[in-house]
């Protein structure tokens, strides 16, 4: 999310060289983001109370905070406490008037019924409803508090990867970590450490990442990596007095993969046993967790090209594993989409070993019910729509609750439920848009927040059968309109094949001449693991597009073929064809929109995106120079040989097996076809798409004699942050202002 103050500060530094009109447009870009904050008034985060039905949420600014308690059974909304009387009690205990006018805190803990704990001025208190008693709590032992919390192990390798923290045992008495290539256990009682292994090396280190404790806390499942033969890429720290270099293991497409052998450790005896089927070459291992009885660890293995998946269960004593079920595909099983959603593939049902399995085997993501041996018991949905996730399973009452695209509009997202035998499938939520549900622990109620990119959030309380109890929060759309919000316009077009329906959004400035012309920007990603068109009000992509539009552009976002959530056939278009259909689809969408809307000026068209969006931006300029005239590509690759293996091999196979497919996808080989203006932006510490990928594109452009522009972001990874992010965002907009905002629109000229 862009920070408004930093954006405005950066904008002010860049205004001077611009004409007054463009300076105002650039300033409008920065100011637009503050409107997003108004939508938060329609959001509610429920905190469920110990009875499993009631919940609380905080409302209002710090100066007037109220904590409401909702009782779904009685359909009541009451303040947690009477504010005036509570503040008087707190004044007596503190010895002075607490700050603000409302409650001077917005978070509480509910250790049991009838009480809540809170903190004010770094002091802890407990309020007891029975007797309306407010008492101080003893200060926490700071040393013990530090011992009780998982400690940092290392930063996540790639941008977006979570940091590695110590793994806490179920009883909280032990924390597992890796240090100097070996595994250690730390006691929370006295902070003493015990070494579990002594044979780790730089090339074969033990890792605590995603380690799993058994329910009884006696067995730890952890992995040993084998990095021998795996390539390293350099990360140069340019800003130090004497530059230093660190080398990170990095598997490019077709390169040698590390192995990740999983072991069970008996933490009492220190003995370890290899988990069968995990020490195989060219595969990924995904740890699901322990069975309810703690006897087996469930995990999945996937081959490197994402065509063969196994669900397995390993015995905690012997390490032997059994195959529960298998999946295979002639194209790919999710690929990168699988990497980001694998946790949701398996959902346990009760304690008897049954589970719900999400699979795309018949062309649509749908849930299947299995027993612990892998016997299919029921197919839970029918029809041509994708189930996105399992939200809740109520084994006692026999229901599965799930979110799916089950409506006529392919991207409308609702909550549904179905019985465990596949009967009584029905929708539970209302209102066009994307719905997010939070279930009560009793599984009798849920809180539903929903919005669209054009409509602010509304939050409702419902019974599990879908009956509306009350609206908890909503925003009057007029409030947003008065603040300058311009809702995007939804559109439908046909893909380049002339028959496949595509959906997108078009953003325009608040005030523009309907008889005039607007230059057009295509905000692109079109990576095959996610959709890109915003579907919620708070989606940052929509705000980037909307803010950019306020600078005097029409901005379009469309999900072309090859993206998920539209069925397997829609996504399979990308298989071994990366870079072949995405730009034709976007160009077709632009052409159809311009035919309908004369305000769109197709003689002034820009395109921008990051990561895969950067790849597509370069691709657009070198394959369709007659359509796209200016582009800004951030943190991109231009040749898939430079791509990390796991995000691309599932879609393209191995380069040594399909060299022609990789050659066709290379924009390095098409550098001489560049005719428009191209700005390349890349962070020097990027290990998602390495800095060398942009350097190779620069070299290809130099070889072809093609002018281009380059911005380097020192010490920035794949997701620029802070001043790097703000500088890149404003520089991107300024680039379009300079090259597309001419008063006399003209097609792009040749670059040589």
Instruction: Measure the CA–CA gap between 752 and 750, rounded to whole angstroms.
Output: 6
Residue 461 has pLDDT above 90, yes or no: yes
Query: Do the Cβ atoms of 528 and 562 come closer than 8 Å?
Result: yes
Residue 7 has pLDDT above 60, yes or no: no
pLDDT tens, position by position, 33-85: 999 999 999 999 999 999 999 999 999 877 789 999 999 999 999 999 999 99
Name the token pair of 127: 């309020």
For residue 708, count other CB atoms closer than 10 A to its CB.
21
How large is the C-alpha radius of gyration of the chain?
28
Look at residue 694 in the predicted model and tell me its pLDDT.
98
Coil, helix or strand at residue 183: strand
Residue 751 has pLDDT above 70, yes or no: no
Look at residue 20 in the predicted model and tell me its pLDDT.
57
Give the right CATH number for 488-533+540-740 from 3.40.50.1820, 1.10.3720.10, 3.30.465.10, 1.10.10.10.
3.40.50.1820
Residue 16 has pLDDT above 70, yes or no: no
Summarize the confidence of residues 305-319 as an average pLDDT: 98
Lowest-pLDDT range, 79-83, 218-222, 245-249, 404-408?
404-408
Look at residue 745 in the predicted model and tell me its pLDDT.
39
Summarize the confidence of residues 442-460 as an average pLDDT: 97
pLDDT tens, position by position, 364-391: 999 999 999 999 999 999 999 999 999 9
Look at residue 742 in the predicted model and tell me its pLDDT.
54
Sign of CA pseudo-dihedral 304, 305, 306, 308? negative
Query: Do the Cβ atoms of 409 and 391 come closer than 8 Å?
Result: no
Name the token pair of 333: 């099983």
Where would I find the H helices in 628-690? 645-652, 659-664
Q: What's the pTM?
A: 0.93
Look at residue 214 in the predicted model and tell me its pLDDT.
98
Residue 10 has pLDDT above 70, yes or no: no
Q: Which residue ranges make up each domain of the chain?
A: 47-142, 488-533+540-740
CA distances from 366 to 350, 380, 412 (A): 20, 7, 16
Q: Which position has the token pair 């700005």?
A: 679
Look at residue 8 in the predicted model and tell me its pLDDT.
42
Summarize the confidence of residues 656-673 as an average pLDDT: 98
Residue 746 has pLDDT above 90, yes or no: no
pLDDT tens, position by position, 609-644: 999 999 999 999 999 999 999 999 999 999 999 999
Closest C-alpha to 217, from 186, 184, 174: 174
Name the token pair of 21: 């009109």
Look at residue 21 in the predicted model and tell me its pLDDT.
66
Name the token pair of 650: 């599932």
Instruction: Measure the CA–CA gap between 96 and 88, rounded to whole angstroms.
Output: 10
């Amino acid at each position: 999310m862009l920070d408004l103050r930093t954006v405005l500060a950066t904008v002010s530094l860049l205004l001077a060289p611009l004409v007054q009109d463009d300076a105002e447009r650039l300033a409008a870009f920065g100011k637009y983001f503050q409107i997003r904050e108004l939508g938060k008034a329609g959001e509610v985060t429920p905190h469920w109370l110990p009875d499993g039905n009631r919940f609380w949420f905080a409302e209002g600014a710090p100066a007037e905070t109220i904590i409401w308690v909702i009782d779904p059974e009685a359909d009541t909304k009451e303040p947690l406490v009477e504010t005036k009387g509570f503040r008087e009690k707190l004044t007596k205990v503190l010895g002075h008037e607490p700050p603000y006018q409302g409650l001077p805190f917005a978070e509480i803990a509910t250790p049991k019924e009838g009480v809540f704990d809170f903190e004010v001025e770094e002091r802890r208190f407990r309020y007891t409803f029975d007797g309306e008693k407010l008492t101080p709590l003893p200060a926490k032992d700071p040393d013990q508090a530090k011992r009780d919390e998982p400690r940092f192990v290392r930063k996540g390798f790639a941008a977006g990867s979570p940091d590695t923290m110590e793994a806490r045992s179920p009883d909280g008495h032990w924390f597992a970590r890796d240090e100097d290539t070996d595994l250690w256990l730390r006691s929370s009682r006295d902070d003493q450490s015990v070494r579990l292994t002594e044979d780790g090396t730089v090339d074969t280190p033990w890792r605590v990442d995603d380690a799993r404790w058994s329910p009884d806390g006696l067995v730890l499942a952890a992995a040993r990596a084998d990095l021998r033969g795996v390539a390293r890429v350099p990360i140069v720290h340019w800003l130090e007095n004497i530059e230093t270099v660190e080398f990170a293991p990095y598997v490019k497409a077709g390169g040698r993969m590390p192995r990740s052998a999983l072991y069970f450790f008996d933490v009492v005896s220190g003995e370890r046993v290899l988990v069968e089927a995990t020490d195989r070459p060219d595969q990924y291992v995904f740890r699901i967790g322990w069975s309810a009885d703690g006897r087996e660890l469930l995990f999945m293995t996937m081959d490197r090209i994402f065509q063969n998946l196994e669900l397995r269960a390993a015995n905690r004593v012997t390490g032997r594993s059994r195959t529960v079920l298998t999946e295979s595909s002639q194209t790919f099983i999710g690929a990168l989409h699988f990497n980001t959603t694998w946790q949701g593939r398996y959902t346990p049902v009760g304690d008897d070993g049954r589970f719900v399995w999400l699979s795309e085997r018949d062309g649509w993501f749908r849930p299947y019910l299995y027993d612990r041996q892998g016997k299919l018991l029921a197919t839970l949905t029918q029809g041509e729509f994708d189930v996105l996730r399992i939200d809740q399973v109520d084994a006692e009452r026999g229901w599965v609750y799930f979110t799916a695209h089950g409506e006529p509009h392919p991207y409308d997202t609702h909550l549904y439920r179905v019985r465990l035998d596949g009967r009584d499938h029905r929708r539970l939520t209302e209102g066009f848009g994307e719905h997010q549900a939070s279930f009560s622990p009793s599984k009798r109620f849920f809180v539903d927040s929903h919005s669209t990119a054009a409509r602010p959030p509304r939050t409702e309380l419902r019974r599990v059968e879908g009956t509306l109890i009350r609206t908890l929060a909503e925003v009057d759309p007029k409030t947003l309109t008065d603040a300058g919000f311009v809702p995007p316009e939804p559109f439908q077009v046909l893909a380049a094949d002339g028959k496949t329906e595509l959906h997108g959004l078009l953003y325009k400035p608040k005030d523009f001449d309907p008889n005039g012309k607007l230059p057009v920007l295509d905000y692109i990603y079109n990576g095959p693991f996610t959709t890109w068109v915003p579907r919620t009000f708070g989606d940052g992509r929509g705000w980037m597009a909307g803010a950019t539009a306020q600078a005097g552009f029409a901005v379009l976002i469309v999900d072309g073929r090859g993206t998920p959530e539209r069925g397997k056939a829609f996504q399979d278009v990308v298989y071994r064809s990366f870079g072949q259909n995405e730009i034709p689809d976007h160009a077709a969408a632009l052409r159809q929109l311009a035919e309908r809307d004369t305000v769109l000026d197709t003689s002034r068209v820009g395109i921008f995106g990051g990561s895969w969006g950067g790849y597509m931006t370069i691709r657009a300029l070198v394959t369709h120079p007659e359509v796209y005239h200016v582009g800004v590509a951030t943190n991109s690759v231009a040749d898939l040989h430079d791509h990390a293996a796991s995000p691309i091999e599932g879609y393209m196979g191995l380069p040594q097996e399909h060299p022609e497919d990789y050659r066709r996808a290379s924009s390095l080989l098409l550098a001489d076809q560049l005719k428009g203006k191209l700005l390349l932006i890349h962070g020097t510490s990027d290990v998602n798409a390495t800095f060398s990928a942009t350097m190779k594109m620069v070299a290809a452009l130099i070889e072809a004699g093609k002018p281009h522009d380059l911005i380097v972001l020192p010490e920035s990874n794949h997701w620029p942050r802070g001043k790097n992010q703000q500088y890149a965002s404003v520089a991107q907009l300024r680039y379009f202002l300079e090259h597309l905002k001419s008063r006399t629109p003209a097609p792009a000229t040749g670059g040589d």
